[in-house]
Amino acid sequence: MREERVESVERALSILEAFGSERRAMSLARLAEETGLPKPTILRLSASLIRFGHLRRDGDGTFRLGPSLWRLGTLYRRTFGMGDAVRPVLRALVAETGESASYYVREGDERICLYRELSPRGGGQRLDEGQRLTLGPGASSWVLLSWAEPHARHGLDRVRVSRGERNPGLVAVATPVLAEDGRLLGALTLSGPRERMDETAQARAAALLPEAAARIRMG
Amino acid sequence: MREERVESVERALSILEAFGSERRAMSLARLAEETGLPKPTILRLSASLIRFGHLRRDGDGTFRLGPSLWRLGTLYRRTFGMGDAVRPVLRALVAETGESASYYVREGDERICLYRELSPRGGGQRLDEGQRLTLGPGASSWVLLSWAEPHARHGLDRVRVSRGERNPGLVAVATPVLAEDGRLLGALTLSGPRERMDETAQARAAALLPEAAARIRMG
DNA sequence: CCCTCCGTTCCGCCTGGCGGAATGCCGGCC
DNA sequence: GGCCGGCATTCCGCCAGGCGGAACGGAGGG
């Protein structure tokens, strides 16, 4: 059984992968450099990506990611079925604690930030919606790993605190968001700088998060 | 000069296009039906899409859109360089008027909602971030069309009101968001049901929007 | 127990996709 | 003003990548 894949498709997708926060627009030559693909190949592949809106090309030849990615990306987020439930809850958490609030889901061995509301005070982690992080150290990683199995939760704390586990200057507090049937939907997290997230603030967050998670819950 | 494209890539992208609000998960047979592609072809193409995270496949064989779309989609949104400027302004508008606030950008002959904050009162248009709409009737379409050219703005009203132009039951009020150099960045919009958006509410929105747009403005 | 539909694999076929070379253009430098 | 370097684009011969019909096995429903 040979491994089925389509090389041309993967080449096209590798063009999209070349873009990043520091590489939002690229020339043909730059793309060739980043992907290792010959320019004629990039021109052909990108013509199809452009036609489907996954890339755009400016008048001067510069390539950028296209609007179909945003449309499909938000459609992906909607597959989680959270509707409009999450953002108001995140906002209320920010209002009550003054720290940033996020909602993460697990994807394989990563976690993805689907929603984030920033603290007006700043000073938090430079993280935005769309970013993916490893399931390594951190409160929300712990939640997404530990609460994954409905039948293996005996004795688990409902709230997890991490003090500089992943990012030395930050404290994060997280709790699971569960469906009516007990399935884990995601992790609700509050985070802020250590100086602000003292033990009192941590206790406050730990008190607020479970009921906030319950407000997000849906069948 | 024959038109350069890569058919395999377009076939793969047509698989992604098959998904929609009403089609968030599909079986192989269903995908074959939707795309017209033979199942062996879909299996090969989807193997590559899955490998790059654009699709996922559940244990029971069901296909869903994958996390790379969310990551690339939010990266696309970040290419507009709005940073964290928009959402707090939308939220303040919602708080002050009780109606939903949105930020649109233009893409070719469409407009795209990049940010949206919903009114807690509900009753507005069923529209979410990610949705694209034609540049047809409507206040924000008018703004995105009329304010496009920096050198053709003499005498333009800074605020546009549309009463049921696009959606009979809704009123929308929009204003342009301009960069320091006068380039049009997007359209800032408030909208709500006609019953709530009477002339007083419209005048209130018309007063608030330009200064809100100025707060979003960046160099 | 049988039938239908689904998912998967196989394999011969052929054209889709490739990339090096050539060309034209543009901007920068002398 | 001319030259040079680098970029983008086009061409075209080559070949292997991609295709899809057929067959098979499994599962679920009647």
What is the CATH classification number for the domain harbouring B62?
1.10.10.10
For A44, the closest of B5, B16, B54 (CB atoms) is B5
Asked if B79 lies within 8 A of A65 by C-beta distance, the reply is yes
- Say what the pLDDT of residue A157 is: 87
Q: Which of A102-116, A142-156, B57-71 has the lowest mean pLDDT?
A: A142-156
B102-135: per-residue pLDDT in tens?
999 999 889 999 999 999 887 777 788 988 888 8
Distance B34 CA to C20 C1' (A): 40
Q: What is the CATH number of the domain that holds A170?
A: 3.30.450.40
Q: What is the pLDDT of residues A172-208, one digit of tens each?
A: 999 999 988 888 999 999 999 988 999 999 999 999 9
Contact B196, B120 (CB under 8 A): no
B44 shares a domain with B104: no
A55 and A113 belong to one structural domain: no
- Which of B24, B128, B130 has its CB closest to that of A79? B24
Q: Which residues of chain A neighbour B25 with C-beta distances below 8 Å? A: 79
Examine the domain organization and report whether A43 and A148 are in the same domain.
no
Q: Determine the distance in angstroms separating the CA of A158 from the nearest CA of chain B, rounded to an integer.
A: 27
Give the residue carrying structure tokens 């509050």.
Answer: A190
In a domain, A1, yes or no: no
pLDDT of res. A1:
33
**What does the alpha-carbon distance between residue A111 and residue A108 come to, in Å, rounded to a whole number?**
8
- Could you read off the pLDDT of A106-142 as tens digits, one per residue? 998 899 999 999 998 877 777 889 988 888 888 999 9
Check whether residue A135 and residue A206 sit in a common domain: yes
Confidence of residue B76 (pLDDT cuts 50, 70, 90): very high
Q: Which residue has the tokens 């890569």?
A: B6
Half-sphere exposure of B102 (CA within 13 A, CB side): 27
Average of per-residue pLDDT across A32-39: 93
Across the range A95-114, mean pLDDT stands at 93
Q: Same structural domain for residues B104 and B166?
A: yes
Position B212 in a domain: yes
Instruction: Report CA(A29)–C1'(D6) in Å, whole number.
Output: 9
Least CA distance to A46: which residue of chain B? B5
pLDDT of residue A218: 61
DSSP β-bridge partners for residue B111: B106, B133
Domains contained in chain B, number: 2
Asked, for residue B133, whether it belongs to a domain, the answer is yes
Please answer yes or no on whether A118 and B78 come within 8 Å at the CB atom: no
Question: Higher model confidence: residue A42 or residue B3?
Answer: A42
Question: How far is B51 from B63, CA to CA, in rounded Å?
Answer: 13
B26-CA/D21-C1' distance, Å: 23
> Does a structural domain hold residue A170?
yes
Q: Which domain holds residue A39?
A: 7-67
- Contact call for B69 and A65, based on CB within 8 A: no
* Mean pLDDT, residues B14-29: 93
For chain B, state the CA radius of gyration.
Answer: 21
Determine the average pLDDT of the residues in A40-66. Answer: 94
- Indicate if B38 and B111 belong to the same structural domain: no
Q: Are A114 and A77 in contact (CB under 8 A)?
A: yes
Amino acid at A181: D
The rounded distance, in Å, linking the Cα atoms of A188 and A215 is 11
Over residues B73-92, the mean pLDDT reads 91
Whether nucleic acid strand D comes within 7 Å of the CB of A47, the answer is: no
How many Cβ contacts (< 8 angstroms) between chains A and B?
176
Shared domain for B85 and B62, answered yes or no, is no
User: Could you say which of B9, B74, B79 has the minimum Cβ distance to residue A12?
Assistant: B9
The helix or strand, by DSSP H or E, that contains position B102, with its residue range, turns out to be strand B100-107
Alpha-carbon distance B59 to nearest alpha carbon in chain A (angstroms): 13
* Distance of alpha carbon A83 from alpha carbon B135, whole angstroms: 26
Span B76-98, average pLDDT? 91
C7: residue with closest CA to C1': B28
Closest by Cβ to B132, choosing from A8, A67, A118: A67
Strand duo B63-65 + B25-26: pairing: antiparallel
Domain boundary among A20, A46, A67: A67
Burial class of residue A177 in the structure, from the number of CB atoms within 10 Å of its CB (0-12 exposed, 13-18 middle, 19+ buried): buried
Average pLDDT over residues A32-56: 94
Distance B32 CA to C3 C1' (A): 23
Phi/psi at A152 (5° precision)? -135, 50
pLDDT of residue A48: 96
Q: Is A35 in the same domain as A131? A: no
- Give the distance from residue A79's alpha carbon to the nearest chain B alpha carbon, in angstroms: 6
CB neighbour class for A211 (10 Å; exposed up to 12, middle 13-18, buried from 19):
exposed
Domain co-membership, A111 together with A44: no
Residue B195 located in a structural domain:
yes
Residues A213, A103 contacting (CB under 8 angstroms): no
Kindly state whether residues A60 and A89 are assigned to the same domain: no
**Does A154 have pLDDT greater than 50?**
yes
Taking a C-beta distance cutoff of 8 angstroms, is the pair B74, A132 a contact? Answer: no
Report percent pLDDT > 90 for chain B: 66
| Contact yes or no for B65 and A76 at CB 8 A | yes
Q: Specify whether A50 is located in the same domain as A130.
A: no
* CB distance under 7 Å to strand C: residues: A 1-2, 4, 7-8, 11, 37-41, 44-45; B 5-9, 27-29, 32, 39-40, 43, 61
Establish if A203 belongs to a structural domain: yes
Which amino acid makes up residue A35? T
Confidence of residue B218 (pLDDT cuts 50, 70, 90): low
Domain membership flag for residue A204: yes
Residue by residue, DSSP assigns B9-71 as HHHHHHHHHT-BTTBSEE-HHHHHHHH---HHHHHHHHHHHHHTTSEEE-TTS-EEE-HHHHH
What is the per-residue pLDDT across B152-173, written as a single tens digit (0 to 9) for each? Answer: 788 888 999 998 777 788 899 9
Query: B2 pLDDT exceeds 60?
Result: no
**Token output for B123:** 């009753």
Which positions of strand D lie within 7 Å of protein CB atoms? 6-12, 17-22
Residues B193, B106 share a domain: yes
